[in-house]
Structure 1
Amino acid sequence: MDLDLFRPLYTASDLVVSVHLDTSREDQDADHRVATGWRALRRDLEQQGADEPTLLVLDGAVGGSPHLVGPQGESLFAADGRMLGAFTLARPPARDRAVVGPVADPLETAFDLDHQLPYVMVALDREGADVDAFPAGALDPATSRTFSGSTLHITRVRAGGANMASYHRRTVNVWTRNAAGVATEIAEACEAVGAALVFVGGDPKATAILREELAGWRGHAEVVEVPGGRGGEDALAVLREAVDKALRAASERSHAAAAAEFESARAQGMAVHGMPAVSTALAEGRVATLLLSEDRTADPLKWSAGANPLLVDSAPEALDNAAAAVQALAAPLLLRAATMGGASFSEIPEGMADDGCAAVLRFAPA
């Protein structure tokens, strides 16, 4: 995943509050449960020394997506009385957690978003389509577009007559024009969110013509046909379920590919593992992708430089300015270094690397 969306989390000049909260909406008591969970976290943050202006801004941000039913969570980050970032999670965190620290702690956020992909969902028929574009990890679309073309001669005649072939051609021409309009909307929707996948559900004949229109498209998104489509709530529900299933499969393929890339890069001397080697590579700006396993319970405390977030070490004396060094758990410091160094991020399986930590490199050491 692209870590650039975490950059605003590292702009604070003071202590940062990181909140990870279960905001699932699965029963009528959801609002009460979310409010109760936040009150408990708020008291904990007060004891940790969070300032009141920052807590007040968090009061207004807590709540998740109340209009969406099902499991979900949220990660919120604030400091200096302002929000630094808010992320909706596809799955609730393992436990509600809130911490005050010298750097933001988006560990749960990173693992959750790493399992998500930006995509476009298309509900199609012969008249047009509804096109929704979803950023990675979003439960709500960033953009929703509807294209409705001409419905004249949209149904082919079934038999006879000297003009039958002409009507057939005219019908296909209308379908083609409509598909061309839908293809334009899809291209714009993909660009809006950097979509990796386009899921198309709907009329089979319209889908076939749309594929022809998309054949010359130079976008990088893969087009995947799924059940469901336009035609009422039932068809949309089938489409939503099929898209969710296809997204899970795509995420599994993506992580398998990341693990294979790491193994291949390590065989060529273009990858390292273990915290000391990864920290050195981050400090030298050589990391293309930071890889972490999800179990971080054994992470040690590390030190990082305030002025140079790429530096992460076991002792403050090893940094440029020991007096200005900050201490935090290793994973948040490594994530900050990877973010500020322009690296990407992916989860790797447990046991694949020392310390559950590895990196694919941009270039080998000199």
Structure 2
Amino acid sequence: MPGTEAPRGAPRELPTELPSTRPRPDSRPRTTPSRPDGLGPVVDCAVYVGGHREPPVEPQEALQAAVDSGGFVWLGLYAPTEDELGAIAEHYRLHPLAVEDAVYAHQRPKLERYDDVLFMVLTTARYVEHDRLTATSEVVDTGEVMVFVGPHYVITVRHGEHGGLADLRRGLESQPDLLCLGPSSVLYAVADSVVDSFVDVATAVEEDVEELEASVFSPERTDDIGRLYQLKRELLSLRRAVSPLEVPLEKLAEKQIDVVPAAMRSYFRDVEDHAIRVRDQVAALDELLTSILQASLARTSMADNEDMRKISAWAGIIAVPTAIAGIYGMNFEFMPELQWRYGYFTVLLLIVTACVLLYRGFKRNGWL
């Protein structure tokens, strides 16, 4: 009958026109990179039953096939527009607030629950290779992966130029024992891959920190404050991606959630442990950078003081001949030894002697 609600969890047909879930708010413009022309939002779509991938099906039929077979569908999307994700949200009954977050991205890592659907946001990170760290170098490039987990489906939404999940999907398909645990196994694999990438980025950043530390304490005089500040800013991006992840992973590991079987909790507990270690590593690097920055500032201050001592010492030496020449340059008629034949040479000898004595004194005190 018209207006009759479909049974809960049953899929709806994808509409021909892709509707919007809610009006686009002017205050939240879309800033994620657009896809190349000619490519749709669907990267891959597959149904998994008993841990094995079934023959290909169309995205419009995948959810029904998963429900009928007792498996689940994994739908992978890349940078969908509001209209594109709106059509999928209508079919999978996704919450409008979660859909809005998935479209506009730039969210803090979090875990939210909408009835029987989990929505998790993860920030991905990639180390940007460079020949030499400068005051404007981009070291850490971030992106986002959003994951919707329902009873018979998992939808991954990726933003950013990195963090592709094709290799992850192939690796997970080679582990049917893990895939047979349901959609939450995909969420675990994505979270584990993201945390592992944090480890790689933190290790690479640590090499940059060691290079800067060696430069700051090298015998040569260097100006590393700009590079140190830039690396500290880049490390802050990694810290913002890692630190908030602990709470969502703890919920997945400790709390009873319908779409997360008890057998999956130990997996999430392992990811949580890795995330905590990365968090501690990033915090240690941040503290080390702060110490190196303070040491660099102190060394710069000491170098400035040393320059001022040298300038002051030479100014003191030059003041002697300047003062004597100034006195004799006043052209008074009656001055000491003014008419003496050897007076000029005596004054020069006095100037040289005074300058040599001052030079030796400053040299002995470390001013020169």
Instruction: Give the shorter-chain TM-score range.
Output: under 0.3
TM-score by length of 1: 0.25
Higher helix share: 2
Higher strand share: 1
TM-score by length of 2: 0.25
- The structure with the larger Rg is 2
